[in-house]
Structure 1
Amino acid sequence: MSPRTLSFHHAIKALILFGFAGYIAYLVQSERILLYIAPRMTDYVKWSALGLYAVGAHQAYLAVSTLRKRHEPDCDCGHDHTPSRSVFKHTIVYGLFILPLLLGFALPDSTMGSSLAAKKGMNLSSASSVKKASPAADSGTGEAPTNGGGTGATAPDSRTSQTGDAGKEAQQAGSAGPTDELFPSDRFTKQYADYAKKLYKQDTIQVSEEFFMETLTSVDLYLDRFVGKKLELTGFVYRQEEMNERQFVIGRFSIQCCSADAAPFGVLAEYDRAKTLENDGWVTVTGKIEKTKFNDAEIMVLKVEKVVRAEPAKTPYVYPNMNFGL
């Protein structure tokens, strides 16, 4: 292969590498990188961009040195490292890298919403995974939270499984502060029980961005204790066919690492003017926590008292807080 042709291949590789590095730099600079990965992963992506720049610079050097015949493509390993002479093969191989790069620059960045939530399935019980991992046999008190037969039912104490009884006991103990008897736990749920005690003292539970999933999980895990309490959260409006005209979901996508593992979570809400709220529109909702049956499961429902239209969060997704329980 002529030095000019070989130099051309090195130049193409350099441009592709510089293109990906530049695209990452653009996403980081514009903060659009948070539409694709969790904040804790951004440093790794930045380092990868530096690696791409370095390898791209090396390919650019090879392109120039080969063109000037300063670089000898042969080596002593006994193998031919020159590229294939097939134009079709090169078009396919380089196209696999160039096409997604062009699409990245050409297509607008957008947040995930109702359409993806419908495909993945909205989870209305954020504590469901914790309940599955928390068998009664592992409870240090013998009174571990249990799954009440659905994706959202919670019965922290079998002696007070009825909502009314639980509420009365909670009110009686309220003056003395939440206790371990009100929030029994095991090794799987202790951190949620401790956080639930803090939430229980609040007049209105505000679901913050920092502890979004942790707050919903704690409330859902000890739902009977929070019935009648007020809760405030912000998210996008989501609906599905099984819901009546008064129902909608305040939803968010939770991301562990990147958008590929995004999972939609939300709280069912009931509001007399729910029809005035557009799908994917962002709202801040305040309401009273109750329990209801939905798709044969007992879950939390928010009886809406106040709705305020909100701007989409700067970081539209929520993430597990690594400092939770520490």
Structure 2
Amino acid sequence: MIRFYILFGFALMFSLIHLQGQLNKYINTKYAYLSVTAIVLLLLLSAIEVVRMYRVEQAEKKRLEAAEAGTTSNATCNDHTHDHTHGQNHDHNDVQNHDHAHEHDHHDHDHDAFGHSHEPKSKWKRAVGYLILAFPIVTGIFLPVQTLDSSFVKAKGFSFKGMDDAMSDKNPGTHQFLKPDSSVFYGKEGYDKLKNKELAEIVGMKEINLNDDLFMKGMEVIYNFPGEFMNRTVSFTGFAYKGEQVDGEHYFVFRFGFIHCAADSGVFGMLVDFPKGTVLHDDDWIHVTGKLTSELYQPFKQTIPVLRVTAYEKIEVPKDPYVYRTN
């Protein structure tokens, strides 16, 4: 029965995530079909487990009925034999029964000793296993999903490491920062073709508006080919983050994004130079427009793209604060 609860629990959790519109906080929504497939398979396995339990119960019922019928038949036969052989076999049966009882007790003693040394350990292991499986179900159903913001950045002790160090890390499960990097999913030749193709799609735009659909791809292209976009007009939306490594009217403007799922998610965006006197707070959502320039950023010890703002406005938090690699 516990197996059924575990399987059905996971199916219920995934279904609720879909119904509540929270799937986008776990994976890139273009892979939603994988979650739907998982729900169908889990429900199928739950049904199979119900059938298996029913068959086990029916087999046990038949076994008990057969055992009860056999006991009744043996009792009748023994009564008949006892009437005819009582005097003749009394001594022999006493000895035999005594020996049999002694052996049976001895056997039970050994069996109990064996059981005491193994059964509790086995039950304990099963209980721990079921608790581990139940934990994500309980938390997934009853705990609210936290939208990532600057508090997450601060809690992780966010500090930018050198760009070269970051880009040399080719582990797809590593959280990325600032620049989306899909190269971890391609070989060198394949990625060279991809980034040149995407450059051709974006470089011809008169004004580069990095909307939700274009944000991840466009930001990656700009970081790959910053020279192609110098003094071009770029605009995008994100939340402000001051941090401890910027001064004056410089702020990072970020979006949390997914390439495939939470495992390769990251905080993406750009260092933005606002007009003098601008005061923003962490998590202020803004839409910025400006000219792309570059600056030597000391924490990275290299030159990075910087957006010099010509216009900006504070906005409400978007309905979906995340962005995704859609192609």
TM-score (norm 2): 0.65
Q: Which amino acid aligns with 1:56?
A: S
Q: Partner of 1:227 in structure 2?
A: 230
Larger Cα-atom Rg: 2
Q: Partner of 2:272 in structure 1?
A: 269
Question: After superposition, where does 1:183-262 map in structure 2 within 5 Å?
Answer: 189=192, 192-193=195-196, 195-196=198-199, 199-262=202-265
Equivalent residues of 1:18, 1:52 under 8 A apart:
yes
Q: Partner of 2:145 in structure 1?
A: 109
Q: Determine the C-alpha separation between the residues in 2 that align with 1:211 and 1:71.
A: 65
Question: After superposition, where does 1:18-29 map in structure 2 within 5 Å?
Answer: 18-29=8-19
Equivalent residues of 2:14, 2:39 under 8 A apart:
yes
Q: Does 1:300 align with 2:300?
A: no
Q: Determine the C-alpha separation between the residues in 2 that align with 1:100 and 1:253.
A: 23
Change (3 A) 1:301 1:123: farther
Q: Which amino acid aligns with 2:21?
A: E
Per-residue Cα deviation, 1:150-183 (whole angstroms, up to 9, x for no partner):
x99xxxxxxxxxxxxxxxxxxxxxxxxxxxxxxx
How far is 1:282 from its partner? Answer: 2.3
How far is 1:25 from its partner? Answer: 0.7
Q: Does 1:16 align with 2:16?
A: no
How far is 1:21 from its partner? Answer: 0.1
Q: Does 1:97 align with 2:102?
A: no
Q: Which amino acid aligns with 2:238?
A: G
Change (3 A) 1:287 1:51: same
Q: Partner of 1:41 in structure 2?
A: 31
Q: Which amino acid aligns with 2:309?
A: V
Equivalent residues of 2:236, 2:289 under 8 A apart:
yes
Q: Determine the C-alpha separation between the residues in 1 that align with 2:216 and 2:243.
A: 22
How far is 1:105 from its partner? Answer: 1.6
Question: After superposition, where does 1:60-71 map in structure 2 within 5 Å?
Answer: 60-68=50-58, 69=60
- 3-state DSSP of counterpart to 2:323: coil
Q: Determine the C-alpha separation between the residues in 2 that align with 1:49 and 1:194.
A: 36
Equivalent residues of 2:30, 2:326 under 8 A apart:
no
Change (3 A) 1:261 1:116: farther
Q: Partner of 2:80 in structure 1?
A: none
Q: Determine the C-alpha separation between the residues in 1 that align with 2:262 and 2:250.
A: 27
Q: Determine the C-alpha separation between the residues in 2 that align with 1:228 and 1:33.
A: 38
Q: Determine the C-alpha separation between the residues in 2 that align with 1:100 and 1:270.
A: 43
Q: Determine the C-alpha separation between the residues in 1 that align with 2:211 and 2:274.
A: 22
How far is 1:209 from its partner? Answer: 2.0
Per-residue Cα deviation, 1:232-290 (whole angstroms, up to 9, x for no partner):
10122223211114111111233232102212221101224786433233221112211
Change (3 A) 1:250 1:124: farther
Change (3 A) 1:200 1:67: closer
Q: Which amino acid aligns with 1:310?
A: I
Q: Determine the C-alpha separation between the residues in 1 that align with 2:57 and 2:246.
A: 67
Q: Tell me which of 44, 53, 78 is aligned to 1:54.
A: 44
Q: Determine the C-alpha separation between the residues in 1 that align with 2:277 and 2:242.
A: 10
Of the structure 1 ranges 297-306 and 267-276, higher mean CA displacement relative to structure 2 is found in 267-276
Q: Determine the C-alpha separation between the residues in 1 that align with 2:37 and 2:190.
A: 37
- 3-state DSSP of counterpart to 1:318: strand
Q: Partner of 1:287 in structure 2?
A: 290
- 3-state DSSP of counterpart to 2:15: helix
Q: Does 1:316 align with 2:321?
A: yes
Change (3 A) 1:218 1:93: closer
> Which structure: greater helix fraction?
2
Q: Which amino acid aligns with 1:318?
A: V
How far is 1:31 from its partner? Answer: 2.1
Task: Note the aligned Cα RMSD (angstroms).
Answer: 3.4
Q: Which amino acid aligns with 1:305?
A: T
Q: Determine the C-alpha separation between the residues in 1 that align with 2:313 and 2:161.
A: 23
Per-residue Cα deviation, 1:60-91 (whole angstroms, up to 9, x for no partner):
2333443443588xxxxxxxxxx966543333
Q: Does 1:30 align with 2:20?
A: yes
**How many residues of Structure 1 are paired with residues of Structure 2 in the alignment?**
249
How far is 1:22 from its partner? Answer: 0.7
Q: Partner of 1:177 in structure 2?
A: none
Query: Identity across aligned pairs (percent)?
Result: 23
Change (3 A) 1:190 1:61: closer
TM-score (norm 1): 0.65
Question: After superposition, where does 1:139-154 map in structure 2 within 5 Å?
Answer: none
Q: Determine the C-alpha separation between the residues in 2 that align with 1:28 and 1:117.
A: 27
